[in-house]
Amino acid sequence: MINGRKYDMRLYVLVVSYDPLVIYLYKDGLVRFSTEKYSLKPKNMNKQCVHLTNYSINKKAENYVRNNNKDSDNEDEQATEDQSKWSYNQLKTKLVSLGADWETVDSEIKDVLIKSIISVEPHIVHSMNVQTKHKNVCFELYGFDVILDSKLKPWLLEVNVGPSLSSSSPFDKRLKTKLICDMLTLVGVRPISKGSEKQKIGPGGLPRLRHHAESEKVSSSYSKLHGRTPAKTMLERGVSFKGNDRSKNEEFEVISEFVEQQDRLGSFN
């Protein structure tokens, strides 16, 4: 607890590929506090705002303090003490000031996130193989809810598929807008030029996205903007392969895509 209040962390994990498994963690996240101080007294056992940190519950409480700061990382510590939402970076600063070994805490949190994804990897890969023969046809952003115990050991509360990206305050809007922009940039969404070909229409009259197999000859938007190709990028980084036809080498394609992603990370790591 911090100042007697229970809290949990909402961390954003982006999986851009399950085969091979490629996971990215967003550098910032949300820290959500209960609005009443924690207590195990019998009279408080049924008080949700004592034991639960959910925003949907605590936002209705009289003691809820909305975070109206667009850039909370730059405000002084005292100004954030009573707010019901912090950024992950603010929590880091607070715990370090209390003498915590943040490198160990951060490493253990990442360990929990990675093992959770690995636990479902076989099932998801099997399902994808049944549906399509192509790789990297989808991505997923997860909202991991993690809590720290009194010894700062992380525990997984739950994993949310399709976490809320709506904004309830300027603070939320800043964080989540950056998150969405960095996510789409890292994934490398490839726009379709309406002037070059007629766009196909799918069910419900919605534009149909081109399948990866249909766009093999189209370079990523990043490469177009910077005049670089995956092969050139890899050579610049000292990565090379033996053989004459590298473009058809599956290993080359996997690594080249990963190398390209490193130039589009934004606030992911």
Question: Lowest mean pLDDT: which of 28-32, 54-58, 208-212, 247-251?
Answer: 208-212
Domains of the chain: residue spans and CATH: 7-187 (3.30.470.20), 218-269 (no CATH)
Among 22-26, 44-48, 63-67, 134-138, name the most confident range.
22-26
Supply the pTM of this predicted model. Answer: 0.77
Res 254 pLDDT > 90: no
If pLDDT is split at 50, 70 and 90, which confidence band does 223 have? very low
| Residue 160 β-bridge partners | 143
Report the chain's mean pLDDT, rounded to a whole number.
Answer: 80
Res 240 pLDDT > 70: no
Question: Lowest mean pLDDT: which of 2-6, 126-130, 132-136?
Answer: 132-136
Long-range contacts at 9-12 (CB < 8 A, ≥ 24 apart): 9/88, 9/91, 9/109, 9/145, 9/146, 9/147, 9/148, 10/143, 10/144, 10/145, 10/163, 11/88, 11/109, 11/113, 11/143, 11/144, 11/145, 11/146, 12/141, 12/142, 12/143, 12/144, 12/163, 12/179
3-state secondary structure of 232: helix
In what helix (H) or strand (E) does residue 234 lie, and over which residues does it extend?
helix 230-236
Question: Lowest mean pLDDT: which of 48-62, 76-90, 92-106?
Answer: 76-90
Query: pLDDT value at position 196?
Result: 52
